[in-house]
Amino acid sequence: MLRRFAVTGASLAVTLAAALLTTAPASAAPVAAAHVTATPATATSPGPARHALAADDAPDVDVTKVQAHLTELNAIANRNGGTRKSSGQGYRDSIAYVKGRLQAAGYTVTEQPCTSGCASGAGPNLIAEWPQGDTSSVYMFGSHLDSVGAGPGINDNGSGSAALLETALTLAERHPAMAARARFAWWTDEEQGLNGSDFYVGSLSSTERSRIKAYYNFDMIASPNGGYFINHLTSAAAQPMKAYWDSLGLQPEENTEGAGRSDDYSFEQAGIPTSGYAMGASARKTSAQAAKWGGTANRAYDSCYHQSCDTTANINVTGLDRSVDGIASTLWKLAVARSTPANDFSLTATPASGGVAPGESLTTTIATQTTSGSAQTVALSASGAPAGVTVSFSPGSVTSGANATMTVATAASTAPGTYPLTVTGTGSGPGAVTHTTSFSLTVKGAGGCAAGQLLANGGFENGTSPWTGDTGTIGAHTGQSAHGGSRFAWLGGYGSTATDTLSQSLTVPAGCAKATLAYWLHIDTAESGGTAYDTFRVKVGNTTLTTLSNTDAAPGYAQHTLDLSPYVGQRITLTFTATEDSSLQTSFVLDDTSLQVS
> Among residues 72, 166, 190, 268, which one is catalytic?
190
The residues pairing with 109 across neighbouring beta strands, listed in sequence order, are: 128
What whole-number distance in Å separates Cα of residue 474 and Cα of residue 591?
Answer: 10
CA nearest neighbour of 332 among 243, 264, 230: 243
CA nearest neighbour of 262 among 275, 273, 271, 243: 275
Check if the beta carbon of residue 31 is closer than 8 Å to that of residue 229. no
Neighbours of 343 (CB within 10 A): 22
Write out 477-544 in H/E/C secondary structure: CCCCCCCCCCCEEEEECCCCCEEEEEEEEEECCCCCCCEEEEEEEEEEECCCCCCCCCEEEEEECCEE
| Cα dihedral 31/34/36/42 (nearest 10) | 0
The residues pairing with 216 across neighbouring beta strands, listed in sequence order, are: 141, 275
Check if the beta carbon of residue 473 is closer than 8 Å to that of residue 438. no
Active site residue 254: no
- If phi over 0 gives left and psi between -120 and 50 gives alpha, with beta otherwise, what is residue 79? alpha
Neighbours of 361 (CB within 10 A): 14
User: How is residue 158 annotated by DSSP?
Assistant: I
CA nearest neighbour of 457 among 591, 598, 596, 597: 591
DSSP 272-320: --EEEEEB-SSSBPPHHHHHHH-S-TTSBS-TTTTSTT-SGGG--HHHH
CA nearest neighbour of 116 among 570, 524, 492: 492
The residues pairing with 572 across neighbouring beta strands, listed in sequence order, are: 506
Q: Is the dihedral of CA 536, 540, 544, 547 positive or negative?
A: negative
Cα separations in angstroms, 556 against 482, 522, 524, 586, 591 = 10, 6, 9, 14, 12
User: How is residue 336 annotated by DSSP?
Assistant: B
The vertex-591 CA angle with 586 and 594, nearest 5°, equals 130
Residue 106 has φ and ψ, to the nearest 5°, of 105, 15
Buried-exposed string 292-328: b where 16+ CB fall within 10 A, e elsewhere = bbbbeeeebbbebbbeeebbbebbbbbbbbbbbbbbb
Residues with Cβ within 8 Å of residue 52, at least 6 apart in sequence? none
Name the residues annotated as catalytic.
190
